[in-house]
Amino acid sequence: MTIESWLQAAIEDAEHRGLPELKPMLEALARATAALRQSLVSQSPVGQAATAQSRVRGVRSASAIRPS
């Protein structure tokens, strides 16, 4: 289901249920859902690869800002 079709159906349902004030909140949720779907971390195989990179990078990028 696309986010656009989901959002339209959700807003129509909310209005039908007497909750028109949900519309801006559903629009905000739609933006969050778009971000979630575009995120690499929610796509499992890619996410696992990204984690492996992070593990290496997290160690390499550690730079002391204050000498011990």
Partner 1 sequence: MMTIEEFGRRLRAKEITSEQVTEECLERIEADNDRLNAFICVMADTARQRARQADQELAAGRDRGPLHGVPLSIKDLLDIRGVATTAASRVREGHVADRDAATIAHLRQAGAVFVGKTNLHEFAFGTTNEDSAFGPARNPHDPSRSPGGSSGGSAASVAAGMALASIGTDTGGSIRIPAAACGIVGLKPSAGEVSTDGVVPLSTTLDHVGSLAQSVADATLVHHALLGDPTVSPPAPMPTSGLRLAVPRRYFCDLLDDEVRARFDEAIARLGAAGVHVDDIEIRHAADIAPIYLHIVLSDAAAYHAHALETVPQRYTAAVRLRLEMGRYILAEDYVRALAGRQVLRREVDAALTQHDALLLPTLAIPAPPIGAETVQVGNAAESVRNIMLRLTQPFNLTGHPAISLPSGMTSGGLPCAVQLVGCTGQTDALLRVAMACEVHISGVLTSG
CA 59 from centroid of its chain's CA atoms: 26
Query: Taking CB under 8 A as the rule, does residue 25 contact partner 1?
Result: yes
The distance of closest approach from Cβ of residue 38 to partner 1 in the complex, given in angstroms and rounded to an integer, is: 9
Report how far residue 60's alpha carbon sits from residue 24's, in angstroms, rounded to the nearest whole number. 43
Exposed/middle/buried for 55, CB within 10 Å: 0-12, 13-18, 19+?
Answer: exposed
Query: Taking CB under 8 A as the rule, does residue 50 contact partner 1?
Result: yes
Q: What residues make contact with partner 1 under the rule CB under 8 A?
A: 1, 6, 10, 13-14, 19, 21-22, 25-26, 29, 32-33, 35-37, 39-44, 47-48, 50-51, 53-55, 57-59, 61-68
